[in-house]
Amino acid sequence: MLRLGCTASLGGARRSAESDLASRRARLTLRQRQRALENGGAAGSAVSDLPPLNLADLVTISNQANAVPGGYLSPNAAAFKRIFLYHSTAETGLEGRATTALFFLDGLNDLDPNEPPKLDENGLQIIPAARVAIWFTNPVCTCSASLEQLFKFFQGSVRVCGNRCKQTFLYLAIF
């Protein structure tokens, strides 16, 4: 991911490991560095490279696609997808009840803010297709009780009617 040009912040553990490695390498003489390079990747070497980054090593990821015209992340070169993850849990009175939902929005690659919106035969704006997967965590299975919460989110509001809820919103852009 980093090779493609995006930037990321390292998590605390990885940052510490990188710092320690740099410190160890700084103590080496030139000859020791050459020897370490020749033996590169030798298991157990205190100065060998760390394993490749995993997603769990990163805290935030950003890219400069919007700031650099013609960047590699343009709609011509990449397919932009959006995924919303919704999760809420009831804090009072309804122990264990929660709602988890994933909204997969497709067709956003064609959207260009400079272009007029696509219209159907009735002159209404066509919305992107979407798939929604919803899981109700509900030991007592009062099925309709969570609908208000979910649709408050769907309406773009963060206010929740009824029970107080802890809400978590994720925005995942996958391309």
Which spans of this chain sit near another protein (rule: CB under 8 A)? 1, 4, 6, 11, 54-56, 58-63, 79, 81, 83, 85, 87, 89, 96, 98, 100, 102, 104, 107, 120, 122, 124-139, 141, 143-144, 147, 151, 154-155, 167-175
CA distance 1 to 19: 21
**CB closer to another protein, 23 vs 144:** 144
Q: How far is the CB of 145 from another protein (least distance, A)?
A: 10
Q: How far is the CB of 155 from another protein (least distance, A)?
A: 6
**CB closer to another protein, 111 vs 173:** 173
Structure-token match 């009824």, residue found:
162
